[in-house]
Amino acid sequence: MSTSAVRNDSTASPGGNRWLILVAGVLVQLAIGAVYAWSVFAKAIQSHDAFGWSKAQASVPFEVAIGMIFVGSYIGGRIQDRRGPRTVALTGGVIYSLGVILASFAGKDQFWLLILGYGIIGGFGLGMAYIVPIAMLQKWFPDKPGLITGIAVAGFGFGAVITAPLGQRLIAGDPSMPTKAFLPLGIGYLVAVVIGASLFRNPPSGYRPPGMSEPAPGAAATADAAVEADFTAAEALGTRQWYFLTAILTLSVTAGISLISVAAGSASDVAGYSAAAAASLVGVLGLFNGGGRILWGWLSDRIGKMPAFMGILGIQGVCLLLIPHVASPILFAVLAALVYTCYGGAFGTMPSTAGRFFGVRNAGAIYGLMLIGWSIGGIVGPLLISSLIGEQKAYTLGFTVVGIIALVGMALPLVTKKPAPRTSTSAGSGAPTAPASRH
């Protein structure tokens, strides 16, 4: 069987409805994005009326899930590039849902079961499903890749906004066993991912939407144009640009998730929010996480990818430096909202950036590998900020260090240039010619 036949086993007819497929992608992302609502369950698990676990214990399942995302996205991305999006999304979504359902059976003395179900199995399935719509939709929307991938991953950001209050209501039904809430949630996730992923398919080869002009024959790639021929994952890893982009994503995640991991506590200790008001603020900030993915994805299509990343890192850095010195609850909320917006913005901008740099044919594997930055930043950020703040509540030290890291990171977009375009596949050979030199 030819490579193209394997790749296109779930390819749409020329009349495929790309907007319906976009809605399906958002539905899947809403389900798996519920992982960001973990703080609701962590708080309930720490209650002495429930499991009475320490804060460190309660954070482990989430940390494991974030760490497993890279494994799932890498494997899922490679399979997707060969087998098409539907099978991978269905498999990943089902694994994720079953992991959440398994976690519902974890009791006070079954810490390992929560790590296995929610962390290892759920995190792996999450990563596998997450990468699919991002890679697929760039092929359906070559005319607006930043905006569309931003909308897709916005669903992930908004997932917690829906799950947090729903999870809280389910927990209230039996506060002594908060993990029971995972059973109905897992079933709901399963229904959502099966419906959404069943509509996934790739567009026909060479698809261009109505109204999008054909490229001029022999035209050279410009700074923001798509590459002339697609890189394989191995070829992308052979460029310095792949490592620069991964580092940019890692730094943005580290900066943003540092605040996210201590948002409720810092709102109370720095700006004087009550516990209830801080919890409400965290829920509202989730909207900015989702909205930032759309905003920066759209903006990056207009101002350029590297200027967008300079803005994302720079705004986060300045806001983090200011936050520990803010006594006004309103100003604190504004600064935190900006950080959340930029944190989400990196996820909305990076997929289309990778597509512009390396092409979209192997986007699943190439961007799936880049998500190691999410796993690294998702672990390093919370550990760094919590160790710096410590029991002394040294918020100034913690936010200053992370803010400086983000500002220094602005140098990376300045030196990250698009690789030279690859030459096209040799006629009749089926093998690409050697890539041009990259700089």
For residue 229, the model assigns a pLDDT of: 67
User: Would you say the C-alpha torsion 222, 224, 225, 227 has a positive or negative sign?
Assistant: positive
- Distance between CA atoms of 176 and 241, rounded to whole angstroms? 50
Q: Say yes or no: 303 and 410 in one domain.
A: yes
Residue 209 included in any domain: no
Structural domains counted in the chain: 2
For residue 360, the model assigns a pLDDT of: 80
Residue 400 included in any domain: yes
Give the torsion through C-alpha atoms of 244, 246, 250, 256, to 10 deg: 90
Q: Say yes or no: 167 and 267 in one domain.
A: no
Q: Say yes or no: 181 and 329 in one domain.
A: no
- Distance between CA atoms of 124 and 427, rounded to whole angstroms? 39
For residue 16, the model assigns a pLDDT of: 59
CB 122, CB 100: distance < 8 Å = yes
Q: Say yes or no: 257 and 336 in one domain.
A: yes
Q: Angle 275-303/263-271 helices, nearest 10 degrees?
A: 110
Residue 219 included in any domain: no
Q: Say yes or no: 293 and 384 in one domain.
A: yes
Residue 9 included in any domain: no
Q: Say yes or no: 117 and 164 in one domain.
A: yes
CATH number of the domain residue 99 falls in: 1.20.1250.20
Residue 210 included in any domain: no
Q: Say yes or no: 47 and 170 in one domain.
A: yes
For residue 165, the model assigns a pLDDT of: 82
Tell which of 182, 202, 222 closes a domain: 202
Q: Say yes or no: 327 and 414 in one domain.
A: yes
Residue 47 included in any domain: yes
Q: Say yes or no: 41 and 143 in one domain.
A: yes
User: Would you say the C-alpha torsion 99, 102, 106, 112 has a positive or negative sign?
Assistant: negative
Residue 207 included in any domain: no
pTM for the complete prediction?
A: 0.76
DSSP 235-252: HHHTSHHHHHHHHHHHHH
Give the torsion through C-alpha atoms of 93, 372, 356, 80, to 10 deg: -30
Which positions ≥6 away from 90 have C-beta within 8 Å? Answer: 193, 194, 197, 198
Q: Say yes or no: 150 and 287 in one domain.
A: no
CB 215, CB 408: distance < 8 Å = no
- Distance between CA atoms of 163 and 367, rounded to whole angstroms? 27
For residue 15, the model assigns a pLDDT of: 47
Residue ranges of the chain with per-residue pLDDT less than 50: 1-9, 14-15, 216-227, 425-439
Residue 428 included in any domain: no
Structural domain including 139 reads 17-202
Q: Say yes or no: 103 and 165 in one domain.
A: yes
For residue 374, the model assigns a pLDDT of: 87
For residue 308, the model assigns a pLDDT of: 96
